[in-house]
A and B are shown apart, each in its own frame.
Chain A
Amino acid sequence: QVQVVESGGGLVKPGESLRLSCVASGFIFSDYYMNWIRQAPGKGPEWLSFISSGSTTTVYADSVRGRFTISRDNDKQSVYLQMNNLRVEDTAVYYCARDLTTGGLADLWGQGTVVTVSS
């Protein structure tokens, strides 16, 4: 079955860290760029970052640059999002998504993992 499945969300306090994981199956993971996208309650989705198939290129949105780091392990068919210095405004559903091209066009999304940042 062609899918991506996110995990690692939870409730954390401002300033704390969290690492999200996404495991892919049913396709040749190493052929694809991968994205992280989030959606805060009541808002449209917000693209956060993508990583190239061989990890040579990473791009970030300004809102997370310097705090979040995307990485991948092709042997484990996985992509990760290390989130440091979390803020209340980072509260959202976080989605992992396969890219149809070379960044920004997500053709296969997971169901998401919920991150809540609250004191």
Chain B
Amino acid sequence: DIQMTQSPSSLSAFVGDRVTITCRASQNIGIYLNWFQHKPGKAPRLLIHGATSLQSGVPSRFSGSGSGTDFTLTISSLQPDDFATYYCQQSNNPPFTFGPGAKVDIK
């Protein structure tokens, strides 16, 4: 199985900060990398698919980059609605594994 790791596991930031979360796959997954946002009690939300493609309706302050084994999610200017946990996931081969998450909270 492909293992996914994320860093940091948590971070504190101010509204307006630029935030970067990294994700690493244990083997080459090309661009089959997706990012999700999850808030407690809510349905997880797809933000980015195919490493860089912004899902419809997602604000442009979210962006993704990378290929192969190393990927990044960037929030260019953190907004109050962005405080949540973010997960990466590979959809290259089943089982479609997720990372352990990165919790973003208010500083």
Contacts and interface: CB of A to CB of B under 8 A. Distances in A.
B100 A107 contact: no
A104 B55 contact: no
Interface string B32-57: 00101000011111100100000100
Contact of A44 (B46, B55, B91, B100): B100
Nearest to A62: B95
A104 B45 CA distance: 14
Give the interface residue-count category, chain A: 20 to 34
B43 A105 contact: no
Contacts of B44: 45, 95, 106, 109
A104 B98 contact: no
Interface residues of B, number: 22
Given A44-B98, A44-B99, A111 B43 contact: yes
B95 A107 contact: no
A47 B96 contact: yes
Given A95-B44, A109-B43, A112-B43, A45 B87 contact: yes
Can you list the 10 inter-chain pairs with the closest CB atoms, starting with the nearest? A104-B91, A104-B96, A109-B43, A47-B96, A61-B95, A44-B98, A45-B98, A44-B100, A105-B91, A109-B44
Given A44-B87, A62-B95, A104-B96, 7 more contacts: A43-B100, A45-B87, A45-B89, A62-B1, A101-B91, A105-B49, A112-B43
Interface of A: 43-47, 50, 59, 61-62, 95, 100-101, 103-112
